[in-house]
Chains A and B, each alone.
Chain A
Amino acid sequence: MERENRLWRLILLALPLIVFSVLVIWPLLSSFYYSFTNWNGFSSDYDYVGFENFTRIWTDRLFFNATVNTAIWMIAAILLPTVLGLALALLLDSKVRGSKVFKTIFYLPICLSAIVVGQIWVWIYQPDWGLLNTAIEQITGERFNYAWLARPGSALYSVIVAWSWQQTGLSMVIYLAGLTAVPSDLLEVCEIEGASAWQRIRHVIIPLLTPSTVVVVALSVINSLKGFDILFIMTGGGPFNSSDTLAMHMYNESFRKYFMGYGSAISVVLFLVALTIIGLYFRQLKKVDEIYG
């Protein structure tokens, strides 16, 4: 048994690992290499500067700012679409009429590209004739022209809303699939034990959806990094870096300021942070396996 398994592991893993190492791991390492240089991207020659780039991080006001924003972004980007998606999934799961139509409507945003999503939300937030402020004016009846994307206080969150709008459909779909996998007899137990709708969701469905949640969270995290595009288009990290994330900061330093070395250093840190996050995420995963696997 073991011998065969070993062989099969080799056969099955070979291809994925090769592709992954060549096209992801290796580039990562080599870009990490630049984090020890002062390369500016254009010149063919650069000096080895040791840990200078890393020490510089601690004096970088913008890095700190970006870190905080990234934290906010990540948390919101994971929480909002997940919760919303779950809610939608639960609503749709109750076999209402036209659920297929609803499903499609909620999923639609994912089909749109970041470019157009970003642009349309810029138009929604447009202070003078944007949809949002117009609506607010309709409701309150008095002039309202708050510039959502232009004020440091609201820029990041405004983007998060747009982002959640686009991503919710995804988690919804995953959860819908997950719901069908919930063993019916367990739900029957709830019926007999007289669980209220809320209790059923709270004590049985949500826990049993954990495998789906694992996936949804993973997807959210990936996308939250894809979220770079939409952030880039809506605020470009502005106004004055108030919506910078680490990815954005790294981009600015590398591609706008031509500090390739420093940019790489930032991405190294970013990667380490990511690793720890996954570490935690993984513990969770292990537990999940033990219970549901």
Chain B
Amino acid sequence: MAELATTSIPTSVPARFNPWPITIFTILCILAVLFLAPTIGVLLSSIKTTRAIALGDLWSWPDTFYLGNYVEVLSNPSVHRYFLNTLLVTVPATIASTALGVLAGYTFAKLPFRGSNMLFLLIVAGMFFPPQVILVPLFRLFNSVGLIDTLWPIGLVHTALGIPICTLLMRNFFATIPNALREAAILEGANEWQVLTRVALPLSLPALAVLATLQFTWIWNDFLWPLIFTQSDDMRTIMVGIVNLRGQYTVAWGVQGALSLIASLPTLLIFLFFQRYFIKGMTMGAVKG
């Protein structure tokens, strides 16, 4: 009795322990390890001599980090050239393709017309064939206008090939923006362009970020077009550079690993930079309201 009398009822029970976060965390850790393994492999290959790799101890953790590959890559002037060229192609092409996608996507999402679906389908279809199909015609096209062995055709082709996905993505995203917003803006006297730039785009940061990242990554990592459209070494891009590290009979694994890692840094940075915008999808919550 006494105990009972003295036991006081808490005014508020504390939040109960929740097992989920820790479980999820462990699962994620395991997955993370699995996902990292191959990348680690690249890293390892980049800090070992081609000889060591050839003799089959790629996966062992080296006691001495051989940095010669990096030195060789970074000290190579044509590598710098490759980087510059790749940038000169990737950045404009990314912007251009995204911009065109925005234009088309907005039209399909907010200004549908009879046959617009067919047209949209045609454009989207443009991403369902292997690029090799148009290799020869495009080469002839650019050759006839004397653009071969310049960076132009690469940028142009990537812009064009980017249109389908950009259009698709932007269209879907714009579709989620309530028409009421567009209508309100129009009644306020906005023309379509203003609706696009002042209402639709500000709300589309997530989609734009995703697109920019993807396009940048894809264009950056592509090596088919640069290979075909450029010939002289000082027009080559980084990926062609990597491919050309493969000799007719030999491959310099170490150097290739090093260059590959360095080459993938920009795309990673782009991702890290845009990442925060991905989540800006938040705004949608309010848009719906």
Instruction: Report whether chain A binds chain B.
Output: yes
Q: Is the interface of B mostly helix, strand, loop or mixed?
A: helix
Which A residues are in CB contact (< 8 Å) with B210?
173-174, 177
Q: Knowing A181-B176, A278-B121 touch, does A218 contact B168 (C-beta < 8 A)?
A: yes
- Known A115-B260, A226-B218; contact A88-B169, beta-carbon cutoff 8 A: no
Residue-wise, chain A 86-127 has the 8 Å CB interface mask toward B (1 for contact) of 001001101011101011111111111111110111011000
Asked whether, in the complex, the Cβ of B41 is within 8 Å of the Cβ of A222, the reply is no
What's the Cα separation between A24 and B163 when bound, in Å? 10
**Contacts A128-B56, A129-B56, A211-B176 given; does A94 touch B275 at CB 8 Å:** no
**Are the C-beta atoms of B57 and A108 separated by less than 8 Å?**
no
* B214 CB–A CB distance under 8 Å: yes
Q: A124-B38, A165-B35 are in contact. Are A4 and B221 (CB under 8 A)?
A: no
- A30 near B137: Cβ-Cβ < 8 Å: yes
Q: How far is the CA of A228 from the CA of B130 in the complex (A)?
A: 8
Residues of B within 8 A of A271 (CB): 125, 128-129, 133
Q: Is the CB of B107 within 8 A of A23?
A: no
Q: Given the complex of chains A and B, what is the CA–CA distance between A39 and B179 in angstroms?
A: 52
Is B94 part of the contact surface with A, judged by Cβ < 8 Å? no
B126 nearest CB neighbor, chain A only? A24
Chain-B contact segment, one of A149-157, A234-242, A246-254: A246-254
Interface of A is mostly: helix
The answer to whether A113 and B271 touch across the interface, beta carbons within 8 angstroms, is no
Taking CB atoms, residues of chain B closer than 8 Å to A131 are: 37, 41, 59
Q: A5-B111, A128-B56, A292-B175 are in contact. Are A221 and B32 (CB under 8 A)?
A: no
Enumerate chain A residues within 8 angstroms of B141, measured Cβ to Cβ: 23, 26-27
> B117 CB to closest chain A CB, in angstroms?
7
Q: Closest Cβ of chain B: how far from A114's Cβ, in Å?
A: 7
Which residues in A have their C-beta under 8 angstroms from that of B284? Answer: 180-181
A270: B residues at CB distance < 8 A: 129-130, 133
Q: Is A37 an interface residue (CB 8 A)?
A: no
Residues of B within 8 A of A228 (CB): 130, 132
**Residue among A4, A105, A113, A251 making CB contact with B132, cutoff 8 Å:** A251
Cα A179 to Cα B206 in complex, Å, equals 12
Q: How far is the CB of A198 from chain B (nearest CB, A)?
A: 12
Establish whether residues A119 and B107, one from each chain, have CB atoms under 8 Å apart when the complex forms: no
Query: Are A225 and B129 in contact, CB atoms less than 8 angstroms apart?
Result: yes
Indicate if the CB atoms of A109 and B129 lie closer than 8 Å: no
Identify A115's interface contact among B45, B161, B242, CB under 8 A.
B242
Complex: how many Å from CA A41 to CA B137? 11
Number of A residues near B (Cβ < 8 Å) is: 106
The answer to whether A113 touches B264, judged by C-beta atoms less than 8 angstroms apart, is yes
Once the chains bind, are A180 and B282 in contact (CB under 8 Å)? yes
CB contacts (< 8 Å) of B133 on chain A: these are: 27-28, 31, 250, 264, 267, 270-271
Partner of A112, one of B42, B125, B192: B42
A12 at the interface (CB under 8 A from B): yes
Q: Does B263 contact A (CB under 8 A)?
A: yes
Report the bound CA distance from A290 to B156 in whole Å: 35
**Contact (A211, B172) CB under 8 Å given A181-B284, A267-B129:** yes
| A151-B213 Cα distance, complex, nearest whole Å | 37
A287 at the interface (CB under 8 A from B): no
Q: Is B181 an interface residue (CB 8 A)?
A: no
**CB-based contact A180/B242 at 8 Å:** no
Chain B CB within 8 A of A293 CB: yes
Q: Is A207 an interface residue (CB 8 A)?
A: no
Distance between Cα atoms of A134 and B59 in the complex (Å): 10
Q: Hey, which chain B residues are within 8 Å of A94, CB to CB? A: 20-21, 24
**Per a CB cutoff under 8 Å, which of A41, A96, A215, A267 touches B28?**
A96
A9 interface residue per 8 A CB criterion: yes
Q: Is the CB of B111 within 8 A of A129?
A: no
**Distance (whole angstroms) from the CB of B271 to the closest CB of chain A:** 6
Q: Could you say which residues of chain B place their CB within 8 Å of the CB of A96? A: 21, 24-25, 28
Given contacts A176-B279, A177-B281, contact A218 B130 (CB under 8 A): no
B199 in contact (CB, < 8 A): no
Looking at the complex, which of A13-21, A55-63, A140-148 is the stretch in contact with chain B? A13-21
A11, A102, A292: which contacts B32 (Cβ < 8 A)? Answer: A102
Q: Which B residues are closer than 8 A to A by beta carbons?
A: 20-21, 24-25, 27-28, 31-32, 35-39, 41-42, 45, 56-59, 100-101, 103-104, 106-107, 111, 113, 117, 121-134, 136-138, 141, 156-157, 159-161, 163-165, 167-169, 172, 175-176, 191-193, 196, 206, 210, 213-214, 217-218, 221, 223-224, 239, 242-243, 253, 256-257, 260-261, 263-265, 267-268, 271-272, 275, 278-282, 284-285, 288
- 30 A-B pairs with CB atoms under 8 Å apart are A12-B104, A13-B107, A15-B100, A19-B159, A19-B160, A20-B100, A20-B163, A20-B164, A24-B163, A27-B133, A30-B137, A31-B134, A31-B136, A91-B24, A92-B28, A96-B25, A106-B31, A109-B35, A111-B264, A112-B39, A119-B253, A119-B256, A123-B41, A180-B206, A222-B164, A228-B130, A247-B130, A251-B130, A275-B128, A279-B121
User: Contacts A28-B129, A124-B41, A251-B132 given; 16 further ones with Cβ under 8 A?
Assistant: A8-B191, A15-B103, A23-B160, A28-B137, A112-B260, A115-B223, A131-B37, A181-B176, A181-B285, A215-B169, A218-B165, A219-B165, A247-B130, A274-B125, A289-B175, A292-B176
Rank and list the top 6 A-B pairs by shortest CB-CB distance, nearest first. A274-B128, A23-B160, A27-B134, A27-B137, A116-B260, A247-B130
